[in-house]
Amino acid sequence: MRNYKEKIIQILLTSLAFASLFFLIGIVFILVKESIPIISEINFLEFLFGKEWYPSRQPPQLGIFPLITASLLVTAGALSICIPLGVGAALYINELAGIKQKKILKPLIEILAGIPSIVYGFFGMLIAAPFIQKIFNIPTGLCALTASVMLGIMAIPTVTSISEDALSSVPKSFKEASYALGANRIQTLFKVIIPAAASGISTSIILGASRIVGETMTVLMVSGGAAVVAKSFFVPVRPMTSTIAAEMGEAAVGSPHYHALFAIGLILFLITLIFNAGAEHISKKYRIKLGLGR
């Protein structure tokens, strides 16, 4: 009798263990299913490279090239802020901070990583955008630059946390060997520790990029929302995520617009999937390189 109960629980747990995989497959299934109508209706290349995004026109013009370029532009801008600052901060925590400082800084950065994206969007809209409008003397502060700055700041704690983990898992013997050969601290840092942690740092950057590409509320509030192919950082843009968030409410269920928004979701999903796979691949290699495990 008791054995019976144990068996049932085990079977139950086995089936529940697949929940995450089940939902992942469910997401892929739903995105593909809801995207198929649009891909079969209009030429896929036209969808991907069309320069006109006018979903409410008759017939609707659904080319997502401006949205893709906007996402790429904003992501590139944000990365150029969060990579130097995030990695730099990690180097400080790892190399210069004393034990006491470390004890405060590490949890602090982790706590700051939890600031909700809506707060960045709100701050960007009310404080950063007017400021940027003023110093660059541009018609509107709600533009690709502001979005890049806010997303860049948002991603710093993620990059710092993971980079710092990578730096602190470099074996101490590496450092000691370098000192023994007469290298000073900065030489050791740049020629030994950073190369040894390079794959971990790359992982942090990829995960940061993945978070930036998928970020919705911040860009929805500060990027300005114009669906045109951006030629500079100073014009309003409309990245993929904010297009979905802004337009899903008004798209009639089953209309080409509705399916197009799901197709954008599918593309976003694939981009982050590739990023995550890359991050995992690199971090696996790096564990082997440092002899940290199988």
45 vs 253, beta carbon nearer other proteins: 253
CB of 231 to other proteins, least distance (A): 26
135 vs 186, beta carbon nearer other proteins: 186
Q: H or E element: which one contains 42? A: none
CB of 77 to other proteins, least distance (A): 15
60 vs 102, beta carbon nearer other proteins: 102
126 vs 232, beta carbon nearer other proteins: 126
CB of 23 to other proteins, least distance (A): 5
CB of 216 to other proteins, least distance (A): 4
CA distance 45 to 260: 13
Contacts of 30 (CB under 8 A, 6+ apart): 262
CB of 85 to other proteins, least distance (A): 5
CB of 285 to other proteins, least distance (A): 16
CA distance 134 to 226: 20
43 vs 98, beta carbon nearer other proteins: 98
Whose structure tokens read 């979701």? 265
CA distance 201 to 42: 41
63 vs 124, beta carbon nearer other proteins: 124
CA distance 112 to 105: 10
59 vs 130, beta carbon nearer other proteins: 130
Token pair recorded at residue 289:
């390189």
Q: Which residues pair with 62 in a beta bridge?
A: 53
CB of 286 to other proteins, least distance (A): 16
Q: Are 141 and 123 in contact (CB under 8 A)?
A: no
SS (H, E, C) 132-182: HHHHHCCCCCCCHHHHHHHHHHHHHHHHHHHHHHHHHCCCHHHHHHHHHCC
CA distance 191 to 49: 43
Determine whether 194 is exposed, middle or buried from the number of CB atoms within 10 Å of its CB (0-12, 13-18, 19+). middle
CB of 45 to other proteins, least distance (A): 23
Crossing angle for the helix pair 194-214 and 256-289, to the nearest 10 degrees? 170
Contacts of 237 (CB under 8 A, 6+ apart): 66, 69, 70, 73, 74, 143, 144, 147, 223, 224, 225, 226, 228, 230
73 vs 89, beta carbon nearer other proteins: 89
